[in-house]
Every structure is written in C-alpha cells, then in structure tokens.
Chains A and B, each alone.
Chain A
Amino acid sequence: MDMEFSPEDLAFQQEVRQFIAENYPAELRGKQDEGEELSKEDFLAWHKILHKKGWIAPAWPVEYGGTGWTPTQRFIWSEETARADCIRLMPFGLAMVGPVIYSFGTPEQKAHFLPRILSGEDWWCQGYSEPGSGSDLASLRTTAVRANDSGGDDYIVNGQKTWTTLAQHADWGFFLVRTDKDAKQQEGISFLLIDMKSPGITVRPIITLGGEHEVNEVWLEDVRVPVSQRVYEENKGWTCAKFLLAHERTGIAGVAASKRGIEKVKDIARTELDGDKPLIANAFFKRKLAELEVDLTALEFTELRSLAGANAGKGPGPESSLLKIKGSEIQQRLTELTLEAVGHYGAPYFRGFGEGDNEHPIGPDYAHRAAPTYFNMRKTTIYGGSNEIQRNIIAKMVLGL
C-alpha cells in the first residue's frame, strides 16, 4: 500500500497544469473572480477547449470519445482543474445522459447524440423530479402514451417536471415518464430523450433564495416524442435511472473543489481583521477551519479508497452515498464559514451585474456572494437524492438493516 503518485502520474500532472495555464480563457477567469452570472456561452467556452484537446470526457470509454486515463489520472485531472478554479463542466450530458446512452442506447442513438454531447452542440437537462415526486422519485406521474394516429411510433407526453437545472439553456432533456400505469411503480417507467423545442414544452423559471435563476419548472402538454428516442426497453427506464443516480453520486463528493474552497476561506480570513490581528488568528475561527480540513481529509481518503476499488475494476457501490453525505455537508460548512468570515458585509444584497450596470458591489469582492451562496448551497444536502435518502441507502445496502 502506498499513496505516492507514480512518475508517469507526476508527469501527467505537469502536463495538465501546463495545459490549464496556457489554455484557460482569461475572460472567463475574470468573470468568475468578479462573481458575475455566467451565460451559456461562458459555460461552453471551457467545454469547447477541452473538446478540441480530446479531454472533455475522461470517464467515458475510449471507443465513445473517452481519454483512456486511469482512475488516478482522472483524479489528478479533477484535482488540478479545481485547484486552478476552472469552471465546472455541465454534468447533464457528459456525466449523466452520455453514460446512459453509451450503456443502454441503440447504435443510432449513440451515433447521433454522443458526438454532440462531446462537442457541446447540445445542452442537456434532466427531467426527473416532479412536484409530488422528490425523494420518492418512482411515484412520478408524467405519462407517455403511444399515439394511435401515427401507428404507434410516437409517445404523447403530459406532465410537469421541476428543479430542472438550467433548462432555460437546454436543447435536449432526458425524462423519466410513466408508460404503464398498472405496473408496480418502478416497473412502469421509461427513459425518453426529448427535444426541448418540441411543441407543448414550457419552461418557467424558479428563482432561488440567492436570487439565482438556476432551476425551472418544465411543463409538457401533448408533447410528441418519437419512440426511437426512448433509451432501453419500454417500462425499463428505472434501470437507467438507478445507473445514473449512482453516477451522479460519485462526482458529488467534490473533494477537489472543497480543497480549493478552504484555501479561499483562508485567504479571506487572512485579509479580514479581528481587532488588530487577521481573523485567521482568532482561536474559534481557526478551530472550525482546522476541523473542516480534517473532515475533508477523511473524505478525501475515503474517496481515494473507493477510487482504488475502481482501479481494481469495482463499480461505484452504495458507499458512494457516504461520499455524497459527507461531501455535501463539507460544502455547506465552507459557505457557512465564508459568511461568518465576512462579518457585516454578508448583509448587502448584490443583484449581479445586469445590463449596463457597472456599479461595483458593496464591501470586499469576496463578500458579495457569501450569503447568497450560503443560501443556495443548502441544496447540496437535498439534490441528487437527499441526505436522508442516502442514509436510508447505507442502512439498507451497506448495513443490511
């Protein structure tokens, strides 16, 4: 057992660092530093650079456009991109529907959709949750009924989805719909790919506590979807859904991003004053920061152990719930410490840089998103299967209770 990177890994690390240093868009960096709201084009700028380099989908099998990296190299990649504060790539295509399509899709679906996911040509959104189906996802009510007029080659979809992240930008959505009302809940669900420009789709914004427009309601009224856009068998969509949820959980630990987050809090605490000393000298604050760092180390090594398992060919198991629970709690504590660090300047509400609004925000730059981020990040213990559901999974699948 050892925890050293091999010489090859170290060389790879250098290559990655150099690539980021030379290719990360300066304009994007500036917007991130200023806390500006990012446009669709901003999100895609880095995506397109990575696509050109062939590094856009490290987790994918090589035959579909993956990099062929080892899990350790992928770990290095995520560490380095977080360390350099690179923008997060949108997971809906790359980490979610992409793996579902290459694992369960038809040759035609693979040939059509996968290259467009890699290039960033299609922006995807996820149509899972419904107003009445959150933790109890399998109770979903959106229906897809075979249309009679077209000889059964279309579904007619009706229902409402919610919490659909960045659906306002989406070209395509992957939806869980009920195709058999009489079957047991999980057995009557199908997995559909739906063109978001289809007639009958309405996307309505949901504004969250920090003032962000990040999530949406998606209404589907008699939306016609060709049967050829169903992934896997009819009524077997739950298999795809479960596969995808496990995928969603593995990335969710967010170790690398939290490491970067701790460095940011330290920087703030070195700048903020507490009497005649920097805040980082305050015993209470220092203790909380240190505890957070210790907990993050515990998470990191738990993830590394799970990664070593993946190196040895084991897929992500129910222990990924542990990574999700601890990772999300750490992300939240980071935002809490940031808000605490900025003191009075957590209170001014900065609406963001609107059109023609160049007024500088109130207080230090690192302060003006502190409270909205704290509010917004309460989502991390709720989304992707709430932490209560994750604990149920561990109780059932790991402890056998």
Chain B
Amino acid sequence: MDFTYTETQDMIRDTLARFLSDTYDFETRQKFINGDGGRDPAIWTALAQELGMLGAPFAEEHGGLGGGALENAIVMEELGKVIGIEPYLPTVVIAGGALKAVGGAQADAMIPEIIAGNAIVAFAYAEPQGRYDLANLRTTAKKDGAGYLLNGHKGVVYAAPWATHLLVTARTGGGQRDKDGVSLFLIDANLPGIVRRDYPTVDGSRASEIYFENVAIPGDALLGGEGAGLPLVEQIVDEATVAVCAEATGVMQKLHEGTLEYTQQRKQFGVPIAKFQVLQHRMVDMFMEVEQARSMTIMGTLKLGLPANERMAAVSAAKNKVARGANFVGQNAIQTHGGIGITQELAIGHYFKRATMIESQFGSADFHMDRYERITLAD
C-alpha cells in the first residue's frame, strides 16, 4: 500500500499551482468571467502549450504525460482551489476518457488536438426530463445513409459556448429510458442545424441549451458500438464524478482555510471570533469534512478500474460523502463569515456557489446514496 504521489505527479501539481497562483487570482477571474466571452482563452492555450497540462491523463504516444485518473484528480483539485472555470472536465476528463476507451483512429485524430489546446469539448448529456439518469433520453440519432440525423434538446451544457466539439448522447434505438439503444457521438459544434442559447451559470461558468434540428452527422462520429453506448457513458461519467469530487476537495479546502483566516482577523466582543469554542468546534467539523472528501476522492479514483458494479458503488460512496461535506463546509463557511460571506465582493461566496453546484453535478447526494444502496444492499 502506498498513498504517496510520484515525482511526476508532484511536478504536475506544483507546476499547475504555481501557474494558477500567477494567473488566476480572484480579481482576475472575476474580470474575465464577467467579460463578454466569460473566459480568458490565453489561459487555456498556456495550460496546453506552456505547461503541457492538457496531456496529463494521455499516453505518451499521443503526446501526453502518460498519466490517468490520478493526474486528472490532481488537476481538478488545483482548479478547485482557484474556482477555475477552464473546461478541463468536459474536454480532457470526459471526452478524453471516451476517446481513450474507444481508441483507434478517432483517438489518434482527436487526442492530439485536445492536448494542443485546439479542441474544447462540451458534454451534452443532460435533458430537461432526465434528471441524473443517463439513459433517460429523448434526443434521437436516426440512421441516414452513412451517417445520422440528430434531433433533440440538451440542457445546461457547461462550456458549450466555448466548444469546438460536442460529445452527445442520443438514442439510436429503444424506448426513452431503455438501457439499450444509447449511442455516443463526438461531433463538430458548428454543424448546420445546431441551435444554441448561451447563458452564464450561477457558479461563474457559461452553458447552453442546445437544440439539434435535423443535424446531419457523419458515421465516424459514433464512439463505440451503435446502441451499446450506455456502459461507456456510465464509465466516463463515473470518471467525471470522481474528478468533481477532486475539484470539491480543492474548493472545500479553500472554504475552510478562508474561514480559519477570517475568524482570526475578525474581532467581536474584544477578541478574535476564532477564540469562541462554538466556532472552533464548527471549524474542526469543517476540517474533518475536507479530510474525508480527500480520502473519498482517492478511494473513488483508485477504484475506477474495477468491474462496473464495484466501480459504481465506490464512485457513488465518494460522491455522496463529498456532496454532504461540500454542503456542510459551504454553509458553515458563509455562516461563520456572517454578512460579508454573502457579498459578491469576497471570494468565499463564490467558492460556496461552486461547492453548491458540485453537490448535484452528476447526481445529488440522494441519487448516489440510492445507487449505492441498490448495488451493495440488494436483498
């Protein structure tokens, strides 16, 4: 047993942390998230070309750093610490994960584009009626000659306004909630018939409602087998779920540190409020949640390679624990700050907003507890 990071992993963390502390201070972040495009494209380019960071989980033959899920977790945690809105999750973790899983010509063509920072991929999987069920799909892809015709509506697609490509789940067969008949497509984001309505999200990112209106997509956009895509989708979403657990760990750590710092500065009744035992115990509880989030993220990440049921149970356990922890740490960070915590001015509130959205991303605490119970406590 060994929970230490390799030299390369330490290097990835240190390099990224240094870069982000130089480029991603809170004021700079606020400036670009509130600007027209909602991001600073130069940061993405630098992550790719100066740091090689977008290659973290990819094989060396594709030009990557030869890592995997642990490297993704490291990057996501560091992004969490600065509440980064860079589309690493959909592009590198999710689309990259799908490409690694299918391999072949599609991976050979696309992974180098991701590593170089040329491709940004948004993951269009959620639908208004579907909640967190990955198979609940009304979007359809009908065979049309050598390709498909795509129709449907995808909701709250993070990073879609910035995307060069979309990773789309659609039905090529079966009924709305059937396990069979789900297919995964990687398509150009600017194909005719794709209509987007873009908007900011409450946690500082950008997203879109996407409407596919008879979008003609080529046959080689299909990743994996036609109609047999659900296991692949479940796998990449599990990888994404532990990645947001890692991000949450970074967010929660900052919420906790910010609270510790504030309570030592803020004086009421003639003493720093950190002297009050009721607040000390609360901050100890927050600390314990941060530590456990880190533990569960590592647990979930290490178990991603297990057979599907074991993997899902582990990921759901991690997400459930992290969601509850993010809720507790976020709410108590704000409460302990008092009024100042609710203003846009201070970073702490923005960490709270991201922590809140992570709670339900890829499934709420309840959703994952339910999945965990169904797998591990079946009678």
Contact = CB atoms under 8 A, between A and B. Distances in A.
A374 B356 contact: yes
Given A275-B136, A276-B177, A209 B349 contact: yes
B334 A378 contact: yes
Nearest to A392: B278
Interface string B319-351: 000000000000100110011011111000100
Given A344-B126, A386-B338, A362 B199 contact: yes
A376 interface: yes
Contact of A349 (B128, B155, B200): B200
Interface string B346-375: 000100110011001000101001100000
Contacts of B360: 339-340, 343-344, 346
Contacts of B339: 129, 134, 162-163, 215, 379, 382-383
B342 A347 contact: no
Interface stretch (B44-52, B63-71, B201-209, B309-317): B201-209
A206 B343 CA distance: 7
Contacts of A382: 335, 338-339, 341-342
A320 B356 CA distance: 31
B197 A375 contact: no
Contacts of B209: 362
Contacts of B343: 206-209
A200 to B, nearest CB: 24
Contacts of A162: 339
A284 B131 CA distance: 15
Nearest to A359: B197
A344 B200 CA distance: 14
A371 interface: yes
A363 B353 CA distance: 19
Interface string B150-163: 00000110100000
A69 interface: no
A348 B198 CA distance: 9
Interface string A102-140: 000000000000000000000000000100111110010
Interface of B, secondary structure class, is mixed
A273 B335 contact: no
Given A274-B131, A343-B131, A349 B202 contact: yes
A152 interface: no
B28 interface: no
Interface of A, secondary structure class, is mixed
A348 B366 contact: no
Contact of A379 (B126, B342, B352): B342
Contacts of B369: 284
A386 B279 CA distance: 13
Contact of B202 (A133, A207, A372, A387): A372
A348 B101 CA distance: 31
Contacts of A43: none
Contacts of B342: 208-209, 375-376, 378-379, 382
B164 interface: no
Nearest to A388: B278
Contacts of B344: 207-209, 211
Interface string B28-39: 000000000000
B338 A134 contact: yes
B356 A343 contact: no
Interface string A251-278: 0000000000000000000001111100
B264 interface: no
- Interface range on chain B: under 10, 10 to 19, 20 to 34, or 35 or more? 35 or more
Given A136-B269, A274-B131, A372-B202, A209 B364 contact: no
A363 B202 contact: no
A344 B203 CA distance: 13
A381 interface: yes
A375 B353 contact: yes
Contacts, number: 127
Interface string A329-356: 0000000000110011111111100000
A243 interface: no
A219 interface: no
B129 interface: yes
Nearest to A372: B202
Contact of A371 (B202, B335, B345): B202
B156 A340 contact: no
A285 interface: yes
A334 to B, nearest CB: 14
A17 B136 CA distance: 44
A376 B203 CA distance: 14
B4 interface: no
A160 B193 CA distance: 56
Interface in B118-172: 126, 128-129, 131-133, 136, 155-156, 158
Nearest to B157: A344
Contacts of A282: 366
A139 B269 CA distance: 8
B268 interface: yes
A161 to B, nearest CB: 12
A209 B334 CA distance: 11
Contacts of B276: 388
A344 B156 contact: yes
Interface in A154-174: 162-163
B203 A347 contact: yes
A276 to B, nearest CB: 7
Given A211-B344, A371-B202, A347 B177 contact: no
Contact of A134 (B202, B268, B349): B268
Contacts of A132: 267
A387 B279 CA distance: 12
A248 B56 CA distance: 56
A376 B199 CA distance: 21
A371 B356 contact: yes
Given A134-B268, A349-B199, A375 B356 contact: yes
B357 A346 contact: yes
A339 B365 CA distance: 13
5 contacts: A275-B177, A282-B366, A347-B156, A347-B202, A383-B339
The 3 closest A-B pairs by CB, nearest first: A136-B268, A284-B366, A344-B156
